[in-house]
Amino acid sequence: MSQSQSELLPRRRSIDTRKRLLDLAEQQVLAKGFVATSIEELVAGVGITKSGFFYHFKDKNDLARALLERHIVRERELLDDLFRRADELNDDPLHGFLVALRLFAEMMAALPEAHPGCIAATLCYQDQLFDRTIHELNAQSVLSWRVRFRERFARIVAAYPPAEPVDLDALADMMSTLIEGGLVMGRALRDPSILPRQVLLFRDFVRLTFRP
């Protein structure tokens, strides 16, 4: 998917310059947005020159793409891990899901400050500044959440047929929707508790919907 960069062993001095650029960029983008993060600021922070930046990234769009790709991978790993842990503790699909949601809410609540926002959402609102690949990566990531949750809900429905018909796609999207919205809200009100509380409300909704 990305360059062959990671396969070959990186050589030579300051092997991690690219990674340090990405780390600093991520931190600054989450704190103040992509546009407000200047290339000059990044290279100064990392201790290289502007030309050095353009050696690693074709342009600022390329930096955005790299940030987003890294974010998507991490996010997937985090969810995989979460559901694996929840399923280890539970055979029942509904119960396992509720446990995963609780774990997730606790993770969100434990984040140091108000989590400043999801890279995806940050880029999404400025995606006209970027090329199509950014938008497609974003869409693909959101869809993978939908697929993941819908599959869980299919198993839950099999075990706990709901009393009334449920829009499973929408229910799956609700999780992503509440997260993205919760980040916006948390940012607007400078209140980090909003996101975890919304996740717990979603958990209540799932519980009510599939209650035996």
Q: Which stretch binds DNA (CB under 7 A): 32-40, 136-144, 147-155, 175-183?
A: 32-40
Dihedral angle computed from the Cα positions of residues 59, 131, 37 and 56, in that order, rounded to the nearest 10 degrees:
-30
Q: Based on CB atoms, which residue is closest to DNA, 19 or 84?
A: 19
Residues 34-63 binding DNA (CB under 7 A) are: 37-40, 43, 47-52, 54-56, 58-61
Q: Which two tokens stand for residue 64?
A: 């955005």
Interacting residue with DNA among 3, 6, 7, 11 (CB under 7 A) = 11
Q: Where are the alpha helices (DSSP H) in 4-131?
A: 17-32, 39-46, 50-56, 60-89, 93-110, 119-124
- Binding interface with a copy of itself (CB under 8 A): 31-33, 35-36, 117, 120-122, 124-129, 135, 138-139, 142-143, 167, 170-171, 173-174, 176-182, 184-185, 187-190, 194, 197-198, 200-201, 204-205, 208-209
3-state secondary structure of 194: helix
Q: How far is the CB of 195 from a copy of itself (least distance, A)?
A: 8
Q: Based on CB atoms, which residue is closest to a copy of itself, 57 or 210?
A: 210
State how far the Cα of 137 lies from the Cα of 65, in Å rounded to an integer: 8
Q: Which two tokens stand for residue 56?
A: 């690693």
